[in-house]
Amino acid sequence: MASNLGASAHGSSSRSLQDATVRLLAKFFKADWSGALLAILIISVAVELTTSGMSVFEPSNVMTILNNSAAIGVIAGGMTLVILTAGIDLSVGSVVGLCGALTGYLVSFWGFSPVEAILAGLGIGGVIGLIHGILIARFGMPAFIVTLAGLSIWRGAAHLSTGAKATPQLPEAFNWFGRLNPLEALRAAYQSGKLPAWLNGVSAFLDTNWVGYFRTFQMSMVIFIVFFVILSVIVSNTIYGRYVFAIGSSEAGARQAGINTVRYKLLTYVFCSLSAALGALLILGRAPYAKSDYGQGWELDAIAAVVIGGTSLFGGRGTIWGTFLGVILLKLINNGLTLAQLNTFWQMIVTGMIILIAVGLDLVRQSRSPESVRRFLAAVGAAMAFFTLLTPASLWLRAAVALHEHYSVTGLREGGAQLASSQSERLLSPAQLQALATQMGGSFWPTVACLLPLALSVVSIATKSRLVSFAVCAVFAVSAYAMATAGFSAAVPFLVLGAVAVAGSLLVLNAFERARKLHEIEA
């Protein structure tokens, strides 16, 4: 004992730093929402690196993302409760459409005051939830079927009752649910000199930094955050919250323990539809008018956000803040890809891949096995090598395809066929042919060269050999330099990220060992 204390005087400080890091990492990864947070950080950094002049991390952009996440966010929040009870609600998109359209209709054409129309909209949401709840909880019909029927019925009702026509612009009262900036009044008062002196300092700061920091501080994000704070307090600190988890884990067990499962399930579906009605109001706060086709397909986005946030579809496990992060991740993808001005069709592919990766991250995190984490990091390295390969390969492929199309259309024409306009567009001029040939020549050898890091990194996934992983890191570093000098500097961030991932995979086993010794995880 004493010898240990004495001998490790030097080593102890670095040891305890290591231990602190390991402890922190262990605590982080045990949380259900850590997968979503990691994915958000990675994507933000990736987008930041690829956009020029438009930053993801700028405060007004962050707030824009929050503002746009508000409507889908509150809907996903309500959906989380339902999914925690091992249920599902497929009708939320249609409830958004119905409540939004009717609220707008009542205020525009029936002479209701905004407050009355808003209460009516929320009331309709509550009644719909009650209907779902009675059918599902009291009569035992499957939630999937009831809410699937609801998806059609409420959407049809929305179109029928409003004739599918848009309302004119809604009264300003609705801005309280959306684009109203609570700081606007303060700034206006400051600019017209009507403020008491002690507020001047703050207001001057507000005014000078308005466009960069405060312009997008709007009610949408305020309501979004307040809603989630309240919801998380309810879920973690009330009896209702505890019963929700109990029912989700085992409904029969909960019933036998004396919990009135019918009442609490019913309440959950009411909350879910009420959240959808609130979501409709949040849309109305930013939209040009009310219309019965809002919210189409939003049930799938809500479920995706809930699952990405770490909540299990089988119920009983999950967090509200995980859903919050899941929603932000989905909106961040849209926002980031727009700022990066990525080709539309690539955006569709990248969106799907990011969702896969986020869920994969979560699965690996849950497995708690060092081998699967190591493999995951090695797979990230391989993916980075693949994107590196794509950088010259896409140039080569595009040129090869264009040339091939040119020759096949020429062949068709010489065979005497009539060409449609879209086909004759594929014919190229001699200058273009020359340019393509040069492009192919210039990108062929870099493409072949990139096959090496890819092959090596795929091997490193399968084998536990640390030598291979070291070799991969070294090859990535050399390739980064080579690509930069060969004029393919777009590939460098991929190679750097890949090298970091593979280096991380080397440390995984040690980190797990240490965590076990510190009793952070079971042996």
Partner 1 sequence: MLNIARGIGAAVIVAMTVVPAFAQEKTVGYITKSATNAGWIMINQGAADAAKSEGVKLIEVGPTFAGDLTKQLEIFENLVGQHVDAIGIAPVDSSGIAPAVKDATSAGIPIVAIDTAVNGADVTSFVATDNVAVAKVQGAIAATLVSDGAAIIYVTGDKAQSTGQDRYNGFMSAFKAARPKSEILEVPTVWDSNQAQEGVEAIINQRKDIKMIVSAWDGGTMAAKSALQNLGYKAGEVKLVGFDGAADAVAAMDQGWVQANTAQMLYQMGYQGIKAAAAAARGQQVEKRIDTGFFLITPSTVDTYKAMIDIK
**Contacts with partner 1, residue ranges (CB under 8 A):** 53-55, 58, 60-61, 64-65, 67-68, 152, 155, 159, 164-166, 168, 178-179, 181, 211, 215-216, 218, 283, 286-289, 291-294, 296-297, 331, 334-335, 338-339, 341, 344-345, 347
Give the shortest CB-166-to-partner 1 separation in angstroms. Answer: 6
Give the shortest CB-21-to-partner 1 separation in angstroms. Answer: 36
Which residue, 24 or 417, is less far from partner 1 as judged by CB? 417
Spatial separation of the C-alpha atoms in residues 2 and 371, rounded to whole Å:
36
Which residue, 64 or 268, is less far from partner 1 as judged by CB? 64
CA atoms within 13 A on the CB side of 173: 12
Give the burial class of 136: count Cβ atoms within 10 A of its Cβ; 0-12 exposed, 13-18 middle, 19 or more buried.
buried
Give the shortest CB-293-to-partner 1 separation in angstroms. Answer: 4
Give the shortest CB-335-to-partner 1 separation in angstroms. Answer: 5
Give the burial class of 335: count Cβ atoms within 10 A of its Cβ; 0-12 exposed, 13-18 middle, 19 or more buried.
buried
Give the shortest CB-238-to-partner 1 separation in angstroms. Answer: 34
397: tokens are: 């492929």
Which residue, 123 or 168, is less far from partner 1 as judged by CB? 168
320: tokens are: 């509200």
Phi, psi of 312 (to 5 degrees): -85, 135
Query: Token pair 């507020």 is at which residue?
Result: 199
- Rounded to 5°, the CA angle 489-329-129 comes to 160
Give the shortest CB-90-to-partner 1 separation in angstroms. Answer: 14
Which residue, 340 or 473, is less far from partner 1 as judged by CB? 340
Whether 323 contacts 216, CB under 8 Å:
no
Which residue, 215 or 406, is less far from partner 1 as judged by CB? 215
CA atoms within 13 A on the CB side of 54: 11
Give the shortest CB-409-to-partner 1 separation in angstroms. Answer: 17
Whether 329 contacts 40, CB under 8 Å:
yes
Spatial separation of the C-alpha atoms in residues 173 and 36, rounded to whole Å:
35
Give the shortest CB-96-to-partner 1 separation in angstroms. Answer: 11
Give the burial class of 288: count Cβ atoms within 10 A of its Cβ; 0-12 exposed, 13-18 middle, 19 or more buried.
exposed
Which residue, 265 or 286, is less far from partner 1 as judged by CB? 286
Phi, psi of 393 (to 5 degrees): -65, -35
DSSP string, 383-440: HHHHHHHHHHHHHHHHHHHHHHHHHHHHHHHHTTPPPPHHHHTT---HHHHHHHHHHH
Q: Please, which residues have CB within 8 angstroms of residue 411's CB and are 6 or more apart in sequence?
A: none
Give the shortest CB-115-to-partner 1 separation in angstroms. Answer: 22
For 169, 224, 280, 319, the CA distances from 220, given in Å and listed in that order, are: 18, 6, 12, 22
Which residue, 28 or 289, is less far from partner 1 as judged by CB? 289
Give the shortest CB-509-to-partner 1 separation in angstroms. Answer: 42
Which residue, 68 or 443, is less far from partner 1 as judged by CB? 68
Which residue, 66 or 399, is less far from partner 1 as judged by CB? 66
**CA end-to-end distance (rounded Å), the chain:** 24
Spatial separation of the C-alpha atoms in residues 348 and 382, rounded to whole Å:
22
78: tokens are: 């309500």
Which residue, 18 or 175, is less far from partner 1 as judged by CB? 175
Helix (H, G, I), strand (E, B) or coil at 56: coil
Spatial separation of the C-alpha atoms in residues 102 and 117, rounded to whole Å:
8
Give the shortest CB-206-to-partner 1 separation in angstroms. Answer: 14
Which residue, 328 or 361, is less far from partner 1 as judged by CB? 328
For 88, 200, 428, the CA distances from 134, given in Å and listed in that order, are: 14, 56, 67
Give the shortest CB-164-to-partner 1 separation in angstroms. Answer: 4
Give the shortest CB-288-to-partner 1 separation in angstroms. Answer: 4
Whether 105 contacts 157, CB under 8 Å:
no
Which residue, 99 or 393, is less far from partner 1 as judged by CB? 99
Q: What is the DSSP letter of 244?
A: H
Which residue, 36 or 65, is less far from partner 1 as judged by CB? 65
Query: Token pair 């492009």 is at which residue?
Result: 439
